[in-house]
Structure 1
Amino acid sequence: MKKHGWMALVAGALVSTGCGEEPLEEARARPVVERYAALVNENYTDAVEKARALQTAVNVFVADPTEAKLAAARNAWLAARPAYGQSESFRFYGGPIDDEDTGPEGRINAWPLDEAYIDAVEGSPTAGIINATDSYAQLDEELLKSLNERDGETNIATGYHAIEFLLWGQDRSETGPGNRPASDFVDGGTAPNAARRRTYLKLATDLLVKDLESVRAQWTPGSDNYAKQFIALDAEEAVQRILTGMGSLSGAELSGERMTVAYDNKDQEDEHSCFSDSTLADLYANAVGIQNVYLGRYGGQDGAGLDELVAQVDPALDKKMKEQLQASLDAIQAIPGPFDQAILGAENSPGRQKVKAAVEALKTQTETLVDVATALGIELNLE
């Protein structure tokens, strides 16, 4: 599956509750839709703020590349990831993040990444855009945008994972992440084209901030934007989109592309954040994002969620959904790190058993999300 693709959902006719009321009756559904739009804005605002903190750390580092400043930039990258990971529940229905024509998701978080497309790798010391001084004499934002996914979906030139690779380098360790030296960014240091490497890192980080700001702007309240259009949707259509994002992330993307593929292939290249060894944090953030939407919460903010609609129709189903959402989080948290080692070994190895258990928990919760949709009068077709 294309990492930033989205799947269709087909709405069915509304059904009636035992009390003769529609599950998505306007007075109950509208606060949930409005809370969802507010939650999305809160989440993207957090993602933007954390990306700006990363941008600051990167600027400090490229101005004077030292090991201490490289460590600070790495920490800022790690701190920026959870907010974006939680926001991936808002994908998969053609919203601002992954609109087929204008959505920047492919520039923000596409993976897996072919390291040699960007920079030198072990065995290929002159590989990558950074070292292609003849082909790309001048590095700038438009060039990086044009090169992202050119001639193949692993030709990733921008986004979190391009920045991650530049900060950590290749991960050749069984016990920890990559360990690129800061001297790779110092003129006359351990790698040629250090100035271009600094420029590339800054350009990629600046573009990440711009792209996130563009998405956040579409959800800012009080503007003539996507959020305004979303709130004005018929309640059934709005809830349809909400459930599409949750179900698609939970099923095909999280339990499938991000976990099962790596589990089946036992290949580090198939894990999400392979250079920093932070894949488990990514998976956990994705699962938290799904739970956030169901409960109508983000951080310290809370409001009307889907749980209130479901509880009105089927309290037992609401309880089951909440329990399964937490069970998935617990199962992911139980996977021993790093993820690239947990997927190795025999089928009965502790790590692989924990990964498999988390995949099954996510599949189970996805099935229950379909039941939730049905209870609300929506036919949810997840591919």
Structure 2
Amino acid sequence: MTRLALIIGFALLCACSPKDEATSNNKKPKVLIDSSAFAAQVGIVAYTSLSDANQDAQTLDSKLASFMYHPNPMSHTEIQQAWRLAYDSFLSSLIFSYLPIQDPPDWYSQQIDYQHLLKQLDSWPIEGGYIDYIKGYPFSGIVNDLTLDINEDSIRSQHGFTDPTNASLGYHAIEFMLWGGDSQRTPPDFFPQDNTAPIPSNEEGHVSSAVDTEIITPAETHNLTPQNHNRRRQYTQLLSELLQKDLHRIQRRWEPSSGYYAQLLQQSNNENTLQAAFIAAQDLISKELLNKRFNLTSSEFSQTSRDDLSALLAGIERWFMPAEPELQEASLFFLMQQADSEVADNFSTSLQQSTTCINKMTTKSSDIDQCKQDTISLLSNLRRAATSLMVELPSLD
């Protein structure tokens, strides 16, 4: 029987000491718990989570179509809200990307492996001026580069062209297009209209002129209104299309009856699947939350980076502690309770405490430090829960 391939990663933060874990373990004798029900539903839960993310991306695309049909303050607010909901949904599914699953070799060569797709979906931080104008540079970016065709091949080839911040794809490229570099993007940027000023080209000595006027000087660019409205519309709509395409590719791999990832889990034994779930949660907390997201730079254009942290924790809660009654007795939290109710309660309390702290967190360093400490405690309690279920996790040192 094929076993689930495990890729053991090491995080940078240490959550708890062996002494602390040993103290907790001595409270009760270890009991072998049947995890078959939990293992059987992992693939289904992952597929449902990715399906939700895909559905919310489709809603985002629908709102974008309405906005493009009639760009106005109301439709602009609606598309911004739809982006936030879609990104929340994606982040809630991100824990499944941390399951230690090995992709087929040819997926790496084709650049369609899980990690490559995630880079296309969720690259950050990004340089907004790489894709459209920013203050003081009205002709910067892909939108204003008239030598670059706006189609799938060209936009994919531009992603990470010289630097990871040169992102031309994904949620945060869409975020920049909806909010702008100073979070002051207005609907007129998307009016379907021709240019009203000469547009410099990357070709030396060439200016593409839409009006009969003199060539502008650099000093005069500060007074220009944004140009290339139709290219901006085309590029933003293409971003949404490619986002859905990449999400759908991942979703299909979790399809319960034939998806590659779902099949791997079905072929794995219960113990490996249980261990993989704990590894995914540990890596999400240590690598994604503690080492990256507390910098609060992921959703900088919409100024909602704090919401990213909340969505990631919501993904853990949704999987480990589902609200649906029919899933609760097959949940990881149910297994924790069977193994050691006190350890399970500590994990639940810690998760709620971290969530509450982040929901109230400001940009003050004292607030951020407190929420980090709460999240480290959550990681510590997760490791204790794993030990209570006789699951060995990679070291964090």
* TM category, shorter: 0.7 to 0.9
Which residue pairs with 1:201 in the alignment? 236
Question: Among 304, 327, 333, which residue is 1:302 paired with?
Answer: 327
Deviates more, 1:159-168 or 1:180-189: 180-189
Residue 325 of structure 1 pairs with residue 348 of structure 2: no
Change in CA separation of 1:132 and 1:309 when aligned onto 2, cut-off 3 Å? same
> What secondary structure, in the 3-state scheme, does the structure 1 residue paired with 2:35 have?
helix
Displacement after TM superposition at 1:298 (Å): 6.2
Which residue pairs with 1:267 in the alignment? none
Change in CA separation of 1:19 and 1:371 when aligned onto 2, cut-off 3 Å? closer
Please tell me whether the aligned partners of residues 116 and 128 of structure 1 are also in contact (alpha carbons under 8 angstroms). Answer: yes
Please tell me whether the aligned partners of residues 36 and 305 of structure 1 are also in contact (alpha carbons under 8 angstroms). Answer: no
Please tell me whether the aligned partners of residues 28 and 340 of structure 2 are also in contact (alpha carbons under 8 angstroms). Answer: no
Identity of aligned residues (%): 25
Please tell me whether the aligned partners of residues 8 and 100 of structure 2 are also in contact (alpha carbons under 8 angstroms). Answer: no
Please tell me whether the aligned partners of residues 221 and 228 of structure 1 are also in contact (alpha carbons under 8 angstroms). Answer: yes
Q: Which of structures 1 and 2 has the bigger CA Rg?
A: 2
Question: Among 375, 388, 396, which residue is 1:375 paired with?
Answer: 388
Residue 81 of structure 1 pairs with residue 91 of structure 2: no
Change in CA separation of 1:316 and 1:210 when aligned onto 2, cut-off 3 Å? same
Residue 30 of structure 1 pairs with residue 65 of structure 2: no
> What secondary structure, in the 3-state scheme, does the structure 1 residue paired with 2:98 have?
coil
Displacement after TM superposition at 1:219 (Å): 1.4
TM-score by length of 2: 0.78
Which residue pairs with 1:265 in the alignment? none
Residue 167 of structure 1 pairs with residue 202 of structure 2: no
CA distance in 2, matches of 1:9, 1:289: 20
Number of aligned residue pairs: give it: 338
Letter matched to residue 166 of structure 2: N
> What secondary structure, in the 3-state scheme, does the structure 1 residue paired with 2:227 have?
coil
Change in CA separation of 1:233 and 1:117 when aligned onto 2, cut-off 3 Å? same
Question: Among 262, 266, 269, which residue is 1:234 paired with?
Answer: 269
Question: Among 32, 50, 53, which residue is 2:59 paired with?
Answer: 53
Residue 155 of structure 1 pairs with residue 160 of structure 2: no
Displacement after TM superposition at 1:21 (Å): 5.0
CA distance in 2, matches of 1:377, 1:74: 45
Letter matched to residue 8 of structure 1: I
Structure 1 segments of 4 or more deviating over 6 A?
17-20, 96-99, 298-301
Residue 106 of structure 1 pairs with residue 141 of structure 2: no
CA offsets, 1:243-273, max 9 Å, x none? 12211111221122110xx2xxxxxxx5111
Residue 279 of structure 1 pairs with residue 278 of structure 2: no
Change in CA separation of 1:49 and 1:97 when aligned onto 2, cut-off 3 Å? farther
Question: Among 285, 306, 312, which residue is 1:250 paired with?
Answer: 285
TM-score by length of 1: 0.81
> What secondary structure, in the 3-state scheme, does the structure 1 residue paired with 2:301 have?
coil
Which residue pairs with 1:348 in the alignment? none
Please tell me whether the aligned partners of residues 92 and 244 of structure 1 are also in contact (alpha carbons under 8 angstroms). Answer: yes
Which residue pairs with 2:316 in the alignment? 290
Please tell me whether the aligned partners of residues 108 and 158 of structure 1 are also in contact (alpha carbons under 8 angstroms). Answer: yes
Instruction: Tell me the C-alpha RMSD between the 2 structures.
Output: 2.6
> What secondary structure, in the 3-state scheme, does the structure 1 residue paired with 2:293 have?
helix
Change in CA separation of 1:282 and 1:325 when aligned onto 2, cut-off 3 Å? same
Question: Among 251, 259, 272, which residue is 1:216 paired with?
Answer: 251
Please tell me whether the aligned partners of residues 30 and 388 of structure 2 are also in contact (alpha carbons under 8 angstroms). Answer: no
CA distance in 2, matches of 1:155, 1:298: 40
Question: Among 140, 143, 154, which residue is 2:151 paired with?
Answer: 140
Which residue pairs with 1:127 in the alignment? 140
Displacement after TM superposition at 1:83 (Å): 1.3
CA distance in 1, matches of 2:326, 2:140: 47
> What secondary structure, in the 3-state scheme, does the structure 1 residue paired with 2:132 have?
coil
Displacement after TM superposition at 1:94 (Å): 4.8
Change in CA separation of 1:97 and 1:115 when aligned onto 2, cut-off 3 Å? farther
> What secondary structure, in the 3-state scheme, does the structure 2 residue paired with 1:192 have?
coil
Displacement after TM superposition at 1:164 (Å): 0.5
Deviates more, 1:48-57 or 1:224-233: 224-233
CA distance in 2, matches of 1:217, 1:374: 33
Change in CA separation of 1:228 and 1:81 when aligned onto 2, cut-off 3 Å? same
CA distance in 1, matches of 2:325, 2:155: 37
Displacement after TM superposition at 1:148 (Å): 1.4
CA offsets, 1:158-190, max 9 Å, x none? 11110010001013xxxxxx1201111222473
Please tell me whether the aligned partners of residues 7 and 244 of structure 1 are also in contact (alpha carbons under 8 angstroms). Answer: no
CA distance in 2, matches of 1:67, 1:206: 23
Residue 70 of structure 1 pairs with residue 69 of structure 2: no
CA distance in 2, matches of 1:97, 1:364: 32
Displacement after TM superposition at 1:115 (Å): 0.7
Question: Structure 1: where are the runs of 5+ without partners?
Answer: 1-5, 172-177, 263-269, 337-341, 343-350
CA distance in 1, matches of 2:325, 2:189: 41
Change in CA separation of 1:232 and 1:112 when aligned onto 2, cut-off 3 Å? same
Please tell me whether the aligned partners of residues 183 and 191 of structure 1 are also in contact (alpha carbons under 8 angstroms). Answer: no
Displacement after TM superposition at 1:97 (Å): 10
